């Protein structure tokens, strides 16, 4: 159990030692700026130092525990020796005792001889004991007591011998002496026994400690060995891992170099370094220069004037100037024509930076040289296209798919007032009125994206705030892979046309209003005239009729019979004429404004008009009226009645019909008037003829009442006119 505890304590100690060691290593590596990605050499060095410190620690502890062990073994041996010496001393004393007894009993004098010898032995043993227990205070005290006891005993013995030699001892006296000697001997034995016991305790303790020390040393050695093996394996693995990583990194570097070389060789970009002044001759150029210019790198290095001398005559001065300014500018980017080996001039882009020495003086120029001939050609084409587009007087604008302006031609600048630099990059909605933004997304941009092309009329606002109308032709722009990239729009300004259209519409509306106004004026005029004719002329004629009747009566008595007949005949005919004139006046008044319309309403007026029509033309005229009581305003009634009159007039004049059917019906919130004839049928051309004022007037009347007018004709079958107006239409509706 104790052994186990010691071992456990040793292991715990070692573990905590290791942990502390690791902490110390970590802290110190951090303190010295080491990290996991330090170099392999450093790692090995640090590892070795760590292992060395660890081994030294283990060695030191092992040394200490081994010396301790030896020490303890020595103590055990010493204790054994003490015990042996005590036993020896005891046997010497017992020998002396028995010899004396035999001597005394036998009377022989061998005793003296052995007393001397034993005395020497005892003395030597006591000396030995004193030496052996010199470090033990307790034993020393025991030894002192023992020594005095032994001395006493020896003195007693000596005394007995002396007595025996000089005089004869009596038996009684001898017995007493023997008895005293035995007592002393017993005390000696006891003292020796105590010493023996104490030494036994010491021995046991020392043995235990020795065993403990031995097992601790053993476990220390085993764990030290184990730790060393682990460290060696771990270190080896780390080094192996690091080496393989290093080898991989080397391979990567080599591959990277190979790739770079390949890129340099295949890229259309030449890298160079050149003198910072003079003829700016090349100091180094990448290999691909040959495939680009036809000159080899060697030719460039051998002839330092090659770079400057083959510049195009028109670009030379400008380019050399730019290089001269390089020390101030620090870097440059320029394009120039350069004559290649084949004699052809190609465009090159040169981007260079100046490298300075530590003292600030220019060291060299490092630059990139790119053949941009193809791009320049494309640029040229684009420039020409832009030039052509700018010739167009109308706007040509392109936007990207998000709606931001990509191009803006001169026409757009002129018509919309924004300069190209103001417009580029802005969202196209900036030229649209704020309320049209949604319309722009929904009706202009979305359809082009969906269909590819689109045409639409739009309103746009110029920089000065004026509204302009345009007919837009839009096309979706696509890249080489057929993916949409933007929208281009060509516009035609239609503001003037729009203005004319608007003016036309306005005047048409005015005319319509005028016509309506004329109609109502006419209606009023008619009513007034009808009343006038009816009342004034009718009354005058009636008065005249009464006068003529009175004259007729009186004449019968006062005139001669011969003349009477002639006068009477004249008077009768005058009376007839008056009667028919009165009838005519009534008819005229009714035609102008039938009193029935005002007095009995539309339903009665329609019936009256149908009878009148049949009576006048002989064409049969049927009516269907439902319900009989309609709630119509005077204006509505007049409008419908006048339309009916106009329709019936048309039937007489154009239809060649034998039958007419008039329907006046109210359904829901509407009242409808339908006139159907069985004539030849109106044609489409006749409906919209330039002189169809009658139809136009009817349509206007219907519209004025908020209603609709419709005329349908079927060739040879007849014509149907339908008017629908809403009920209860009052002036303030
Ligand atoms: N009921 C009808 N049947 C056949 N043709 C008709 C009828 N009503 C109108 N038309 C045709 O429509 C034309 C236009 O009619 P309208 O505008 O009233 O002009 P107008 O009666 O003065 O000729 C007429 O000239 C006639 O040719
Ligand atoms: Mg007509």
The tens digit of pLDDT for each residue in 614-624 reads 999 999 999 99
643 C-beta neighbours (distance < 10 Å), count: 24
Note whether 91 and 190 are same-domain residues. yes
Can you give the pLDDT at residue 2?
46
67 C-beta neighbours (distance < 10 Å), count: 12
**pTM exceeding 0.75:** no
Note whether 555 and 625 are same-domain residues. no
Note whether 428 and 369 are same-domain residues. no
Can you give the pLDDT at residue 570?
85
Domain boundary among 148, 183, 215: 215
pLDDT tens digit string along 65-88? 888 888 888 888 888 888 888 888
Confidence bin at 36 (pLDDT 50/70/90): low
Note whether 608 and 589 are same-domain residues. no
Higher pLDDT, 48 or 294: 294
Is residue 379 predicted with pLDDT exceeding 70?
A: yes
Note whether 612 and 564 are same-domain residues. no
Is residue 34 predicted with pLDDT exceeding 60?
A: no
Is residue 25 predicted with pLDDT exceeding 60?
A: no
Distance 663 CA to ligand 1 centre (A): 20
Note whether 367 and 489 are same-domain residues. no
Q: Does any domain span residue 50?
A: no
Distance 649 CA to ligand 1 centre (A): 9
Domains contained in the chain, number: 5
Is residue 572 predicted with pLDDT exceeding 50?
A: yes
Of all protein residues, the one whose alpha carbon is nearest to atom 12 of ligand 1 is: 686
Note whether 603 and 732 are same-domain residues. yes
How many angstroms separate the CA atoms of 556 and 571, rounded? 11
How many angstroms separate the CA atoms of 450 and 618, rounded? 65
Domain boundary among 314, 346, 377: 377
Helix (H) or strand (E) holding 624: strand 620-626
Q: Does any domain span residue 36?
A: no
Q: Does any domain span residue 262?
A: no
Least confident of 175-184, 270-279, 308-317: 175-184
Can you give the pLDDT at residue 23?
62
Cβ(75)–Cβ(192) below 8 Å: no
Higher pLDDT, 167 or 567: 567
Residues recorded for the chain: 733
Q: Does any domain span residue 539?
A: yes
Output the domain CATH number for residue 474: 3.30.450.20
Q: Does any domain span residue 13?
A: no
Probe residue for ligand 1, chosen from 619, 645, 650 as the CB with the greatest number of ligand atoms within 8 Å: 650
Note whether 359 and 281 are same-domain residues. yes
Helix (H) or strand (E) holding 710: strand 708-714
Q: End-to-end CA distance of the chain: give it in Å, rounded.
A: 118
Q: Does any domain span residue 666?
A: yes
Which residues form ligand 1's pocket by a CB distance below 6 Å? 650-651, 653-655, 677, 679-680, 682, 686, 689, 692-695, 719
pLDDT tens digit string along 480-522? 899 999 999 999 999 999 899 989 999 888 888 888 888 888 8
Is residue 155 predicted with pLDDT exceeding 90?
A: no
Is residue 731 predicted with pLDDT exceeding 50?
A: no
Distance of CA 482 to the CA centre of its chain: 27
Note whether 616 and 581 are same-domain residues. no
Average pLDDT on 720-731 reads: 80
Distance 607 CA to ligand 1 centre (A): 23
Note whether 135 and 96 are same-domain residues. yes
Note whether 622 and 732 are same-domain residues. yes
Can you give the pLDDT at residue 6?
44
Is residue 409 predicted with pLDDT exceeding 60?
A: yes
Q: Does any domain span residue 452?
A: yes
Closest CA to 332 of 360, 366, 296: 366
Higher pLDDT, 478 or 213: 478
Q: CA geometry: angle at 525 spanning 522 and 531, to 5°? A: 140
Q: Does any domain span residue 667?
A: yes
Can you give the pLDDT at residue 272?
92
Average pLDDT on 348-358 reads: 92
Average pLDDT on 606-613 reads: 94
Can you give the pLDDT at residue 123?
85
Average pLDDT on 185-194 reads: 87
- The mean predicted confidence, pLDDT, of the chain is 85
Average pLDDT on 167-196 reads: 80
Domain boundary among 593, 615, 649: 593
Distance 653 CA to ligand 2 centre (A): 8
Average pLDDT on 189-200 reads: 86
Note whether 469 and 557 are same-domain residues. no
Average pLDDT on 233-262 reads: 86
Range of the domain at 605: 599-733
């Amino acid at each position: 159990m104790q052994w186990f505890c010691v071992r456990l304590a040793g292991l715990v100690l070692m573990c905590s030692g290791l942990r502390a060691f690791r902490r110390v290593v970590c802290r110190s590596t951090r303190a010295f700026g080491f990290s996991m990605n330090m170099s392999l050499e450093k790692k090995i060095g640090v590892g070795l130092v760590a292992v060395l410190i660890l081994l030294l620690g283990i060695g030191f502890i092992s040394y200490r525990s081994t010396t301790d062990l030896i020490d303890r073994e020595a103590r055990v041996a010493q204790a054994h020796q003490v015990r042996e010496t005590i036993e020896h001393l005891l046997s010497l004393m017992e020998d002396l005792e028995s010899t004396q007894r035999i001597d005394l009993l036998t009377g022989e004098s061998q005793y003296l001889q052995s007393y001397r010898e034993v005395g020497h032995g005892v003395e030597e043993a006591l000396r030995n004991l004193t030496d052996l227990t010199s470090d033990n205070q307790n034993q020393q005290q025991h030894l002192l007591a023992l020594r005095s006891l032994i001395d006493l005993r020896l003195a007693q013995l000596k005394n007995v011998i002396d007595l025996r030699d000089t005089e004869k001892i009596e038996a009684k006296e001898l017995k007493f002496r023997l008895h005293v000697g035995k007592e002393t001997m017993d005390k000696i034995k006891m003292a020796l026994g105590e010493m023996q016991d104490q030494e036994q305790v010491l021995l046991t303790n020392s043995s235990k400690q020795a065993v403990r020390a031995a097992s601790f040393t053993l476990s220390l050695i085993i764990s030290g060995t184990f730790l060393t093996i682990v460290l060696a394996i771990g270190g080896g693995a780390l080094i192996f891992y690091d080496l393989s990583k290093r080898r991989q990194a080397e391979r990567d570097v080599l591959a990277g170099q190979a790739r770079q070389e390949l890129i340099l060789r295949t890229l259309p970009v030449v890298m160079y370094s050149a003198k910072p002044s003079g003829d700016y001759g090349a100091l180094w150029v990448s290999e691909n220069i040959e495939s680009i210019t036809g000159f080899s790198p060697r030719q460039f290095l051998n002839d330092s004037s090659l770079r400057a001398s083959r510049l195009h005559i028109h670009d030379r001065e400008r380019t050399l100037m730019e290089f001269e300014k390089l020390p101030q500018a620090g870097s440059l980017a320029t394009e120039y024509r350069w004559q290649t080996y084949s004699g052809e001039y190609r465009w090159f882009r040169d981007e260079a930076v100046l490298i300075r020495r530590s003292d600030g003086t220019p060291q060299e120029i490092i630059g990139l040289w790119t053949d941009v001939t193809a791009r320049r050609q494309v640029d040229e084409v684009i420039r020409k296209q832009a030039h052509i587009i700018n010739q167009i007087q109308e706007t040509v604008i392109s936007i990207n798919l998000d709606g931001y302006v990509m191009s803006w031609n001169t026409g757009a600048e002129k018509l919309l007032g924004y300069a190209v630099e103001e417009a580029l990059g802005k969202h196209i909605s900036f030229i649209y009125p704020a309320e049209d933004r949604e319309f722009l997304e929904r009706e202009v941009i979305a359809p082009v994206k969906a269909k590819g092309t689109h045409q639409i009329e739009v309103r746009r606002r110029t920089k000065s705030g004026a509204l302009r109308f345009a007919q837009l032709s839009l096309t979706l722009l696509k890249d080489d892979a057929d993916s949409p990239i933007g929208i281009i729009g060509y516009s035609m300004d239609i503001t003037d046309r729009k203005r004319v259209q608007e003016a036309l519409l306005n005047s048409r509306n005015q005319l319509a209003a005028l016509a309506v106004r004329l109609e109502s004026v006419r209606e009023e005029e008619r009513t007034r005239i009808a009343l006038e004719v009816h009342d004034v002329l009718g009354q005058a004629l009636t008065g005249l009729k009464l006068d003529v009747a009175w004259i007729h009566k009186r004449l019968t008595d006062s005139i001669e019979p011969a003349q009477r007949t002639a006068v009477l005949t004249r008077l009768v005919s005058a009376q007839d004429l008056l009667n028919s004139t009165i009838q005519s006046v009534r008819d005229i008044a009714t035609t102008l404004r039938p009193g029935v319309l005002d007095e009995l309403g539309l339903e009665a007026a329609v019936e009256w008009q149908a009878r009148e029509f049949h009576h006048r033309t002989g064409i049969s005229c049927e009516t269907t009226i439902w319900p009989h009581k309609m709630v119509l305003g005077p204006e509505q009634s007049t409008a419908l009645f006048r339309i009916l009159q106009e329709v019936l007039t048309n039937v007489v004049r154009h239809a060649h019909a034998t039958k007419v059917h008039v329907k006046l019906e109210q359904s829901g919130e509407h009242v409808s008037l339908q006139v159907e004839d069985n004539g030849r049928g109106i044609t489409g051309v006749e409906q919209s003829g330039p002189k169809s004022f009658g139809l136009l007037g009817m349509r206007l009347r219907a519209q004025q009442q908020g209603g609709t007018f419709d005329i349908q004709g079927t060739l040879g079958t007849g014509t149907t006119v339908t008017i629908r107006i809403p009920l209860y239409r009052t002036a303030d509706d």
